[in-house]
Amino acid sequence: MTEKKENKTIFCSFVGTMTNDIRKKLYNTYISDSDFYFNSPRNWSHLISSDNFNEFVETTQKSEFTLCPRGYGKQSFRLYETIQLNSIPVFIYDDDWFPMNDVINWDDFCVNIHVSDIDNIKSILLSYNENDKENILKNGKEIYYKYFTMNGLCEYILDYLTCRSS
């Protein structure tokens, strides 16, 4: 059985809040570029409205790439949500911190861009061909289920502890 290829209508998107300078720089750099979609700036909280939630889900599902700049911490939940919604995460970071990088090659399932390369994001993303994008999405699904689900993470922890105690 072949998987039906989805018709993506947005090249790259970000739906969220401008919590830090990285997100603000992304917004200011690409807001005028019609290949990028940004929601209008607003404050988000844990009490997200259904309209905001639906905008995030629908926009991400329509996007080839989704910007996943770090949030308050060194990572962003958006990265994992993006994989679930079948878009390619574009992780923008300022500190070289990738969880479980002893077993995960983060370049296999997301585009990793240092904050110093924000001005080059579009050309970097345009360098990926259809085959590259399909492989990234496939790898993302595999890695997500292997490491980022409750069962996958528990198995990883047990394996890690078993190896450490041997």
Residue 79 CB neighbours (<10 A):
21
Helix (H, G, I), strand (E, B) or coil at 152: helix
DSSP 116-138: GGGGGHHHHHHT--HHHHHHHHH
Q: Where along the chain do its domains lie?
A: 10-165
What is the pLDDT at residue 136? Answer: 98
What is the pLDDT at residue 1? Answer: 37
Contact 91, 114 (CB under 8 A): no
> What gap in Å lies between CA 10 and CA 3, rounded to an integer?
20
Contact 57, 13 (CB under 8 A): no
Ranges of the chain whose pLDDT falls below 50: 1-4
- Is the model's pTM score more than 0.75? yes
Q: Which residues pair with 63 in a beta bridge?
A: 10
> What gap in Å lies between CA 8 and CA 64, rounded to an integer?
6
What is the pLDDT at residue 101? Answer: 87
What is the pLDDT at residue 5? Answer: 52
What is the pLDDT at residue 97? Answer: 82
Domain topology for 10-165? Rossmann fold (3.40.50)
Looking at residue 106, the DSSP 8-state letter turns out to be G
What is the pLDDT at residue 99? Answer: 84
What is the pLDDT at residue 166? Answer: 63
> What gap in Å lies between CA 94 and CA 136, rounded to an integer?
22
